[in-house]
Amino acid sequence: MTESADGAAPAVAAKGDGSQPEACRTISGAARLAGVIGWPVEHSLSPRLHGLWLRRYGIDGAYVPLAVRPEHLAEALAALPKLGFRGVNITVPYKETALSLVQRASPAALRIGAVNTIVVAPDGTLDGSNTDCIGFLDSLLHARPGFCAAGASAVVIGAGGAARAVIVGLLDAGVTEIRLVNRTSGRAAALAEALGGPIRIVPWAGREAGLAGATLLVNTTTLGMRHQPALDLDLALLPPDAVVCDIVYVPAETPLLAAARARGNPCIGGLGMLLHQARPGFAAWFGRMPEITADLPTLVLAG
Ligand code: ATR
C-alpha cells in the first residue's frame, strides 16, 4: 500500500484544515469511477464513506452502489473495464463467488476464500484481493496502538466468512494461540483445518471457561446486531485488561461491548474495520491513501 498520487487531478482544491470538505461537489466527464456490488446493496455504508473521502480530498471521482442480481454477477464484473470502472468493492452475498470470477487473486483472498476488492488492471483483467483481514488488524492497532498482536492469546467467536478474515489477520500478526468457539463445532473444525496454525477448537458449551487468560476477544458473529439476539457470554473469567472487539457496528455499542466496558475492558466496535478495509481500494482507484480521521465514524453514520 503506497500513498501515491498517480496523477489524480483535484477538481477543486480541498480545504486543508480537515474539516467538512467544500471541494468537488460535482464530477467532470473525466471522473474516475468505482463502486460496490451487492444484492441488495442499499444497506452499504461504502458509497457514503468513499463519497466523504472524494470530497475531502477534492478528487474528481464517483463511487456508486451497484445492485446486481445473482444471475448477472459474472456479466457485470466482465463489463467493468468496458464501462471504464477502475474497480469495485464486493459485498454480501458475492464475496465468495467473486473469487472465481477474477483473473488473479491475492494470497489473502485465496486463504480467506473471498474477494472484497477488485481493481481493473491496465489490460482490462480483474485483480481480486481481500482487505477485511488488514482492515480488522489496522482497526485494532489504530484503537490500541500499544496492543501486541504477536504473542496474543485470542478467543474468536464464530466460524463464518468474517471469522476467516479476522483469523487470517491474527495469524499473520503472529498470535500465539486462537481459541475458536462456534455454535456448530464442525464448521469451526473445517475452518481450523483449512487455515492451519495455532487454532484450538473450544466447544460452544465451554466458551466461558475458554476466556481465562485471553488477551483478546473478538465476536465475528451477527449476534448483538440490531434485530438479533445478544451474544450469550458471561465475561467473568476474561482478564480485565483483555481487549474486546465486536465486528458488529449497528449498534455501535453492542451488548457485548457494553458488558465488557462496564467491567473495565478496553473495547473496539466494528465500524473501524469497515473504515480501514476501505482504504486500499480507495488508494488503488483514486490515487490517494485516505486517512481515518476522528470525525469519520460520525460522518459515515450520519445517514
Ligand atoms: P459471515 O460470513 O458474515 O461471517 P456466516 O457465514 O453466516 O456470516 O456466519 C455467521 C456466524 O454467526 C457463524 O459462526 C454462526 O454460527 P454457526 O456456524 O453455528 O451457524 C454464528 N451465529 C449466527 N447466529 C447464531 C446464534 N443464534 N447463536 C450462535 N452463533 C450464531
Residue 134 CA, ligand 1 centroid: distance in Å: 21
pLDDT of residue 6: 35
190-230 pLDDT tens trace: 999 999 999 999 999 999 999 999 999 999 999 999 999 99
Question: Could you say which DSSP state residue 18 is in?
Answer: S
Grid cell at residue 47 = 458509497
**Ligand 1 residue neighbourhood (C-beta within 6 Å):** 158-163, 182-184, 187, 220-223
pLDDT of residue 15: 43
Closest ligand 1 atom to Cα of 220: 4
Mutate to test the pocket of ligand 1, among 222, 223, 227 (most ligand atoms within 8 A of CB): 222
pLDDT of residue 111: 97
82-110 pLDDT tens trace: 999 999 999 999 999 999 999 999 999 99
Rg (CA), the chain: 20
Percentage of residues of the chain with pLDDT beyond 90:
90
Grid cell at residue 169 = 489477520
Residue 220 CA, ligand 1 centroid: distance in Å: 8
User: Which amino acid is located at 58 in the chain?
Assistant: G
Q: Is the pLDDT of residue 117 over 50?
A: yes
Helix (H, G, I), strand (E, B) or coil at 109: helix
Q: How confident is the model at residue 5 (pLDDT cuts 50, 70, 90)?
A: very low
Residue 98 CA, ligand 1 centroid: distance in Å: 21
The overall longest dimension of the chain from CA atoms, in Å, is 60
Closest CA to 170 of 204, 128, 217, 209: 217
